[in-house]
């Protein structure tokens, strides 16, 4: 009974608090100028890569992931068992993996093939971006039931360390912005970026909470 009284009192307090605290000012991060600092200096002519080496990431942060090289065969939603692009070790379904038989599977048309040298650079950049994305995605939070999109911009040193990171598109909820920042910080350091990305490469990434 005493517990009941305490709980009831606590709840009453909480409810009152919710009602009063609710219209708290939108804690949007003032970040309009942030993007500037991340504009990358034009790299002095990236050295041509000998060959596309998408998987030769020095620090081997994740297991090599099977990449879908052909842009024409994008993973379709119906290809549920396609494990590769998610986290390095994504949760596997308990039993029945999702064959979401609802989604219209419309593969995008392949982009026009770029010239050969750019092709090699592109492969290297592509592979590197994937590895970044995977490292970050692997640390994404869960159990958040607040919608919002927080966009971050971050730059890396030549060794792959996180040089700078900031919110360049605030979600409107400080907690979501913090979660996004925390996720990128935890994912660092990253593998050393390939030369094709230039010095201090800069990336943007959006966290879409739904």
Q: Which of 31, 157, 166, 202 binds another protein (CB under 8 A)?
A: 202
Nearest approach, Cβ of residue 80 and another protein (Å)? 6
Q: Is 161 in the site for another protein (CB under 8 A)?
A: no
The answer, yes or no, to whether the previous bond of 171 is cis (omega within 30 of 0) is no
Q: Is 33 in the site for another protein (CB under 8 A)?
A: no
Closer residue to another protein (CB): 50 or 109: 109
CA distance 185 to 161: 10
For 195, the token pair is: 């030369």
Q: Which residues, listed in sequence order, are joined to residue 150 by a DSSP beta bridge? A: 207
* Strand ranges (E), 26-177: 148-156, 162-169
Query: Which residues in 34-73 contact another protein (CB under 8 A)?
Result: 35, 38-40, 42-43, 60-63, 65-66, 68, 71
DSSP-derived letter for residue 106 is -
Closer residue to another protein (CB): 51 or 81: 81
Q: Which of 137, 157, 166, 195 binds another protein (CB under 8 A)?
A: 137
CB 177 within 8 A of CB 171: yes
Report the C-alpha dihedral over residues 123, 128, 131, 136, rounded to 10 degrees: -130
Q: Is 164 in the site for another protein (CB under 8 A)?
A: no
Q: Which of 7, 47, 158, 161 binds another protein (CB under 8 A)?
A: 7
Closer residue to another protein (CB): 14 or 158: 14
DSSP-derived letter for residue 206 is E
Nearest approach, Cβ of residue 131 and another protein (Å)? 11
Q: Which of 31, 49, 52, 77 binds another protein (CB under 8 A)?
A: 77
Q: Is 174 in the site for another protein (CB under 8 A)?
A: yes
Q: Which of 31, 49, 138, 195 binds another protein (CB under 8 A)?
A: 138
Q: Which contacts of 20-28 are long-range, i.e. CB under 8 A and separated by 24 or more positions?
A: 26/172, 27/173, 27/174, 28/170, 28/172
Closest among 208, 136, 152 to 35, alpha carbons compared: 152
Q: Is 187 in the site for another protein (CB under 8 A)?
A: yes
Query: Which residues in 86-115 contact another protein (CB under 8 A)?
Result: 86, 88-105, 108, 111-112, 114
């Amino acid at each position: 009974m005493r517990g009941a009284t305490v709980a009831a009192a606590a709840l009453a307090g909480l409810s009152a608090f919710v009602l009063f605290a609710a219209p708290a000012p939108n804690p949007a991060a003032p970040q309009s100028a942030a993007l500037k600092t991340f504009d990358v200096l034009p790299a002095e002519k990236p050295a041509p890569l000998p060959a596309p080496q998408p998987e030769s990431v020095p620090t081997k942060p994740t297991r090599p992931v099977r990449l879908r090289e052909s842009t024409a065969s994008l993973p379709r939603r119906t290809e549920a068992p396609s494990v590769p692009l998610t986290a390095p070790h994504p949760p596997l379904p308990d039993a029945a993996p999702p064959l979401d038989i609802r989604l219209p599977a419309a593969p995008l048309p392949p982009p026009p093939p770029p010239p050969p040298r750019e092709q090699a650079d592109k492969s290297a950049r592509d592979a590197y971006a994937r590895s970044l994305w995977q490292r970050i995605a692997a640390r994404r939070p869960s159990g958040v039931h607040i919608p919002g999109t927080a966009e971050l911009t971050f730059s890396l040193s030549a060794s792959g360390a996180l040089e700078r990171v900031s919110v360049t598109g605030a979600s409107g909820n400080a907690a979501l912005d913090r979660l996004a920042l925390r996720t990128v910080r935890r994912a660092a350091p990253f593998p050393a970026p390939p030369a094709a990305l230039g010095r201090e490469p800069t990336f943007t990434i959006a966290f879409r909470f739904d």
